[in-house]
Amino acid sequence: MYPYGETMRKPKKLLLLLASTLAFSTAVAAKCPTGSVTVHGKVDNLPSTATGAEATVVVETAKGNVERTALLSNGEFTVEVPFSTHSSSTWLGGDRCHTVPKFVEVKIVSAGKVYIQKRLNFKDSFEVTKFYEYRLKQELSLDVLKESGNGNRGQTGRSLHPPNDQ
């Protein structure tokens, strides 16, 4: 027979070892990398009155939207937007990292007025450059005159501020 308490010590040690291993594996489990979307583009025919124009890029994922803004320089812009790739967690503490954007929206704004807005389907318009880093397959060219004259009037020239009813 076992000495007093011998049979109880082994299961307790085994349980403690199992709990420690589980806790340690949860703590060192790989976390999801941060993805990024880079949009480079140029804007043609922006009115000279549109000083300090900015490009705002919104990355839309199932987990939410992330937005970044950059000033236009000589009619061009480059905006990098980080996003979370985390999609879910496993019961053992691991993470699934499968989230990618669904859409990317680009707006050119000056003094609260949207001059042009373009919504891009992510799968059709972007390519992988590195692990979870994406860029447009081709440079984005936005022409304020062409876009406002081809039936997209609802997408251009809108103010971000509601009308003042005084």
pTM of the model: 0.71
CATH number, position 83: 2.60.40
Q: Which tokens go with 78?
A: 């480059």
Judge whether 4 lies within some domain: yes
Q: Are residues 73 and 143 in the same domain?
A: yes
Q: Residue 133: its pLDDT value, please? A: 97
**19 lies in which domain range?**
1-29
Query: Would you say the C-alpha torsion 103, 109, 112, 113 has a positive or negative sign?
Result: negative
For residue 48, give every residue at least 6 positions away whose Cβ sits within 8 Å of its Cβ, in sequence order, or none. Answer: none
Judge whether 166 lies within some domain: no
- Site of tokens 């001059």: 115
The number of angstroms, rounded, from the C-alpha of 19 to the middle of its chain's C-alpha atoms is 36
99-125 residue pLDDT tens: 999 999 999 999 999 999 999 999 999
Assess contact for 111 and 77: CB atoms under 8 A. no
Q: Residue 54: its pLDDT value, please? A: 97
Domain count, the chain: 2
Judge whether 165 lies within some domain: no
147-159 residue pLDDT tens: 765 444 334 444 4
Pairing type for strands 133-136 and 54-61 reads unpaired
